[in-house]
Amino acid sequence: MHSLSNRRGWGFWLQLGFTLLVCALLTVPMAMSMLAGLTANYFVGLKSGLTLHWVDEVLRVYSGTILLSLQIAFACLACTLVLGVPAAYALARRPGRIARLVEEMLMMPVAIPGLATALALIVTYGGVGDLRSSWLFILIGHVLFTLPFMVRAVLAVMGSIDLTTLEEGAASLGAGFLRRFATVVLPNCRSGILAGSLMVLTLSVGEFNLTWLLHTPLTKTLPVGLADSYASLRIEIGSAYTLVFFLMIVPSLILMQGLFRRGRPSV
Amino acid sequence: MPDSVMQNSFHLDAVPIRLERCGKTFAGGARALEPLDLTIRGGETIVFLGPSGCGKTTTLRIIAGLESPDPDGRVLFGEEDVTALPIERRNVGMVFQSYALFPNMTVAENVAYGLKVRKIARADRGRRVEEMLDLMHLGEFAGRRIDQLSGGQRQRVALARALVVRPRVLLLDEPLTALDAKLRDSLRLEIDRLLRGLGITAVYVTHDQGEAMALGDRIVVMAKGRVAQVGTPREIYYQPADGFVADFIGTMNRLGGLSRGGTLSIGSATLPWSGPEGAVELLVRPEDLALAGEADGHLGGTVAAAVFLGDRTRLVVEPADGPALTVDAAGRSELGRGDRVWLRVDPARVLAVP
Ligand SMILES: Nc1ncnc2c1ncn2[C@@H]1O[C@H](COP(=O)(O)OP(=O)(O)O)[C@@H](O)[C@H]1O
Ligand SMILES: [Mg+2]
């Protein structure tokens, strides 16, 4: 092993260089934008000094959108878990042609533009009670949009383990359906549920296409607020907003990762 | 109960199993199993043997409660009709070819699972798990995760997990098939010892006739969804019910003969005969054919292949007409390809299929 690492050819350095370049292409604009949010005056540049003034302003003015985004994201996660995990399980356990067709149709939300889905929602449910002006309207859109991602992530893991035999093993030991589901199915699909949850959270927090059509002035989410501020306010505010967005999403992702890592059932 | 009597106390009930008209037609109309009647005695180890796809697993799953028989069929454990009970209410132990151990639990947690389901108190549970792990020589692996075990160890955990709940019957579906040959032999001996020791009614499915002969009190030979023969290993081997069973178990030679008026003509020889008359097909085991000299041999042929097996040499002999015959030359035989040999047939050990 050791001697191998000493003989790195030009191919290795080429690959490393390319990888770093791609990383830089992705991260430099992000870093620049966030830096802009900390700069006292963007047009003067860094020599104008660093400040938390803009971040402070964003938190003061836009804390409502941040909280609503989080509220919708976690509600959306709860809905997709409750709906998506059993749906994935049903698809995984059913061998028939219809199940395979449904699986294929799970690709649909990627193919249909969010704007189209939003319009369809407004046309269909826009007139139902106070729904149009409620944050629940946005939630419905987000659940519709993210559910397939949850189902696919869980389904992928369920397809890779022999779930049927595991369950038959548990059943032979006397476990009824609910116990099997809780003690055998769910724990062994943890990685898929985790992947799906992270996906749903990030997609929901960052969702713009649907939300832009579904929102009202009173139900503005973070990305919609972000777009507004970029369009109408100083670029420093928009950039500070991006920074807040980033700081918000990263800890929640790390937290979720931690939650799923710990804790196994004991004897 | 005190620990000192553990060896004896861990003796399980010997519940007989009765299958009545248990057939199975899968959705789509495929008939996997013709209606089957079978009584498995309490404490007996019965082996379902047959080629792949003959319905062994289906039968086992009907006994387990993982499949239900076609409407007319019934499954009885002792006097209790369990046909309508799902597997989780039948109290059976099941061992799968693919182990079916829970990857999210340790060895001890796997074994404890059934006891937890039965709400056995924690202290009692711990003691029983420990006893069971010791019985299966798994004590040192209690805290390991399943993916840290070898195939043989996994299957021993699966056995421990199935037995610790003291099931009414133990069902094993090709438990050794996924293991390599050496491990298969040692685990087969262990399973044999265990089944004898526990006195539990066991149903064992395999396609390996060696396993079937070694483990079974009785063997059910199956072919294409039907029972071809039920009998002890000796009965199956020496008195196969038909050509299929004869060919499936061990090696069987076939020779053509003609019987007339109490004599049987094979090749150039005429032997006394009490079997059926006319042209018959004769089935002979290799060990019932003997090498002889030209003077007392019944049938001449040429050695087409010779395989040295140490204690004996297995010869494939091609007679003047008819299919090749397999015969064993005992001891230090120098016979090889191309040699001319003569064979004797013992008419008392020949089976005739008209
Ligand atoms: N769930 C099922 N659906 C349809 N056909 C099945 C099913 N399970 C088994 N079969 C068919 O039933 C026959 C017997 O299968 P099986 O009992 O598994 O055979 P064995 O265990 O002897 O190899 C096979 O032809 C198999 O294809
Ligand atoms: Mg099988």
| pLDDT per residue as tens digits for the range A169-196 | 999 999 999 999 999 999 999 989 988 9
Please return the burial class of A61, using the count of CB atoms within 10 Å of its CB with bins 0-12, 13-18 and 19+.
middle
Per-residue pLDDT at B4: 36
Quote the pLDDT of residue B287: 87
DSSP A39: B
Q: Return the ligand 1 atom nearest residue B56 CA.
A: 22
Q: What range defines the domain where residue A72 resides?
A: 54-261
Q: Same structural domain for residues A139 and A70? A: yes
A124 and A199 both lie in a single domain:
yes
Q: Do A238 and A142 have their domain in common?
A: yes
> E strands within B50-181?
74-77, 80-81, 92-95, 169-173
**Ligand 2 center–CA B95 separation, angstroms:** 12
Instruction: Check whether residue A41 and residue A168 sit in a common domain.
Output: no
Q: Any idea what the CATH number is for the domain that residue A114 is in?
A: 1.10.3720.10
Looking at the predicted structure, is the pLDDT value of residue A263 above 60?
no
pLDDT at position A47 is 75
Q: How far is A103 from chain B (nearest CA, A)?
A: 22
Asked if A175 and A167 count as a contact pair (C-beta separation under 8 A), the reply is no
Residue A119 belongs to some domain of the structure: yes
Band (A260; pLDDT cuts 50, 70, 90) = low
Please tell me the distance in Å from B269's CA to the nearest CA on chain A: 59
* Neighbouring residues of A123: CB distance < 8 A, sequence distance ≥ 6: none
> For residue B262, how far is the Cα from the chain centroid?
38
Contact B135, B28 (CB under 8 A): no
Pocket test residue of B24, B31, B47, B54 for ligand 1, highest count of atoms within 8 A of CB:
B54
In a domain, A267, yes or no: no
A162 interfacial to chain B (CB closer than 8 Å): yes
For chain A, percent of residues with pLDDT exceeding 70? 92
Q: What would you measure as the largest C-alpha separation in chain B, in angstroms? A: 78
Residues of A in contact with B112 (CB under 8 A): 267
- Nearest ligand to the CA of B36 is 1
Residue for token digits 């018959």? B280
Residue A28 lies in a domain: yes
Q: Which of A51, A68, A88 is the last residue of a domain?
A: A51
One domain for residues A44 and A130: no
Question: What is d(CA A226, CA A205) in angstroms, rounded to the nearest whole number?
Answer: 12
Work out the pLDDT band at A4, boundaries 50, 70, 90.
Answer: low
Minimum distance, in Å, between the CA of residue B13 and any CA atom of chain A: 17
* Claim to verify: residue A163 and residue A188 sit in the same structural domain: yes
Digit-by-digit pLDDT tens for chain B (354 residues) are 333 334 445 667 789 999 999 999 998 888 999 999 999 999 999 999 999 999 999 999 999 999 999 999 999 999 999 999 999 999 999 999 999 999 999 999 999 999 999 999 999 999 999 999 999 999 999 999 999 999 999 999 999 999 999 999 999 999 999 888 888 988 999 999 999 888 899 999 999 999 999 999 999 999 999 999 999 999 999 889 888 998 888 888 888 888 888 888 887 778 888 878 888 888 888 888 888 888 888 888 999 999 988 888 899 999 888 889 999 888 788 888 889 999 988 888 888 876
H helix or E strand, kind and range, residue A98? helix A97-105
Q: Same domain, yes or no, for A11 and A142?
A: no
Give the count of beta carbons closer than 10 Å to the beta carbon of residue B130: 14
Of B64, B94, B105, the CB nearest to A265: B105
Contacts of residue B85, Cβ cutoff 8 Å, sequence gap at least 6: B65
- Segment A198-205 shows an average pLDDT of 89
Rounded Cα–Cα distance for residues A144 and A106 (Å): 11
Q: What is the DSSP string of A197-224?
A: HHHHHHHHHH--HHHHHH--TTS--HHH
* B216: Cα within 13 Å, side-chain hemisphere: 28
Strand partners, A139: none
Closest alpha carbon within chain A to B123: A267
pLDDT in tens, B197-234: 888 999 999 999 999 999 999 999 999 999 999 999 99
Residue A6 has what pLDDT? 60
Beta bridge partners of B19: B38, B75
A101 within some domain? yes
CA nearest ligand 1 atom 26, residue = B53
Contact across the interface for B100 and A165, Cβ inside 8 Å? yes
Taking an 8 Å cut-off on Cβ atoms, the answer to whether B108 and A267 are in contact is yes
B37-82 tens-digit pLDDT = 999 999 999 999 999 999 999 999 999 999 999 999 999 999 999 9
> Which pLDDT score is estimated for B80?
93
| B67 CA from centroid of ligand 2 (Å) | 13
Contact B87/A171, CB-based, under 8 Å?
Answer: yes
Taking the model in full, what pTM does it have? 0.82
Domains in chain A, number:
2
Q: Do A191 and A127 lie in a common domain?
A: yes
The verdict on A22 and A85 lying in the same domain is: no
Determine the atom of ligand 1 nearest the C-alpha atom of B51.
22
A63 and A47 part of one domain:
no
Which residues 174-203 in chain A show a CB within 8 A of chain B? 174-176, 179, 183-184, 187-188, 190
State which of A51, A73, A88 marks the end of a domain: A51
**Disruptive mutation site among B68, B106, B116 for chain A (greatest number of A CBs within 10 Å):** B116
